[in-house]
Amino acid sequence: MDDSIYTLTNKSPSRKDFIDTTDFDQSEILDIIKTSVIVRDFIKSGHTFNPLYHKNLAMLFEQKSTRTRVSFEVAMSQLGGHALNLAPGAIQLGAHETIEDTAQVLGRMCDLIMARVDRHESVKALAKYAKVPVLNGMSDYNHPTQEIGDIITILDNLPPEKDWNDVKVVFVGDCTQVCASLMMITTKLGMNYVHYAPENKFLSEDFQKIGRENAEKYGGSVKVTSDRACLEGADFVYTDVWYGLYDKETPKEVYMKDFYPTFQVNDDLMSATKNENAKFMHCLPANRNEEASDSVMDGKNSICFDQAENRLTAQRGLCLYFGGVAQTALDEIKNKKEGNN
Least reliable range by pLDDT among 2-11, 50-59, 60-69, 274-283: 2-11
Chain Cα centroid distance, residue 81: 22
**Confidence band of 136 (pLDDT split at 50, 70, 90):** very high
Contacts (Cβ under 8 Å, ≥6 apart) of 96: none
Cα–Cα dist 222/214, whole Å? 9
Closest CA to 29 of 179, 187, 193: 187
Q: Indicate if the alpha-carbon torsion angle 238, 214, 208, 66 is positive or negative.
A: positive
The 10s digit of each residue's pLDDT in 244-264 is: 665 556 778 888 999 999 999
Q: 330-336: list long-range contacts, CB under 8 Å, 24+ apart.
A: 330/6, 330/7, 330/8, 330/34, 330/35, 330/38, 331/6, 332/49, 332/51, 333/6, 333/38, 333/39, 333/42, 333/47, 333/49, 334/1, 334/3, 334/6, 336/42, 336/47, 336/49
Closest CA to 281 of 270, 272, 268: 270
Residue 21 class from Cβ within 10 Å (0-12 exposed, 13-18 middle, 19+ buried)?
A: buried
Cα–Cα dist 305/64, whole Å? 19
Count Cα atoms within 13 angstroms, Cβ side, for 35.
34
Where, residue-wise, is CATH 3.40.50.1370 in the chain? 3-143+310-331, 158-302
Give mean pLDDT, residues 311-320.
Answer: 98
- Report the percentage of the chain scoring pLDDT > 90: 89
CATH architecture of the domain covering 158-302: 3-Layer(aba) Sandwich (3.40)
Per the DSSP assignment, residues forming a β-bridge with 147 are: none
**Count of residues for the chain?**
341
Cα–Cα dist 124/108, whole Å? 18
Of the chain, the end-to-end C-alpha distance in Å amounts to 10
Can you give the pLDDT at residue 221? 97
* Three-point CA angle 31, 179, 231, nearest 5°: 105
Can you give the pLDDT at residue 245? 62
Mean pLDDT of the chain: 95
Least reliable range by pLDDT among 72-81, 82-91, 180-189, 216-225: 82-91
The 10s digit of each residue's pLDDT in 194-251 is: 999 999 999 999 999 999 999 999 999 999 999 999 999 999 999 999 986 655 567 7
If one counts every other C-beta atom within 10 angstroms of the C-beta of residue 4, the result is 6
Annotation: CATH topology of 3-143+310-331: Rossmann fold (3.40.50)
Can you give the pLDDT at residue 183? 98
Cα–Cα dist 187/218, whole Å? 7
Cα–Cα dist 115/136, whole Å? 5
Can you give the pLDDT at residue 32? 98
